[in-house]
Amino acid sequence: MHKDNCFYLGRIVKKHSFKGEVVIKLDTDEPELYGNLESVFVDLGNNLVPFFIEKSSLSKGTMLRLKFEGVDSEEDAEAILRSGIYLPIDLLPKLTGDKFYYHEVIGFDIKDSSFGTVGVIKEINDSSAQPLFVVDREGKEIFIPMIDDFIKKVDRENKTIEVVTPEGLIDLYL
């Protein structure tokens, strides 16, 4: 399995017991969807390795306690500590309306209500305080904050996102 075909679910943040249990901090608003998984992919040395789950339990909001098959000691758990956890993209719940996953809007056109067609979304920058659409307009990068008030319509069929940005925002980049 390749990361391109998966989504990031969370990270192993600590060991839980001397029997190899680990705790995963889930990166989701709906942790209850992931309480009964059969398996996950663990990122080990840039390879996604399948791990099968013996038992799991949700605790403290977005924390998921897991016991993997074959991870039976503190040393085994230590070896996978701080590893990323991934699942196949087809396991993501389908979103509708104006909600979207970052990966699904790459390649969509951005249209501003007053400016017109801005360009194509080439990535999402979520390393800043506010996630940003990174839009390519004829070789120039334009950053549009992903604020609910700015996003007016997500049209999956036509691969477009309609936005309303403050006057002059797009012109700053041109």
Strand partners of residue 81: none
pTM of the model: 0.69
**Mean predicted confidence (pLDDT) in 147-173:** 93
Confidence of residue 74 (pLDDT cuts 50, 70, 90): very high
Cα–Cα distance, 129 to 147 (Å, whole number): 12
Residue 60 pLDDT greater than 80, yes or no: no
pLDDT tens column, 114-144:
999 999 999 999 887 889 999 999 999 999 9
φ, ψ of residue 155 to 5 degrees: the values are: -110, 95
- CA neighbor of 62 nearest in space, from 26, 22, 12, 23: 26
Strand partners of residue 49: 42
Residue 110 pLDDT greater than 80, yes or no: yes
Of residues 51 and 92, more confidence is placed in: 51
Residue 76 pLDDT greater than 80, yes or no: yes
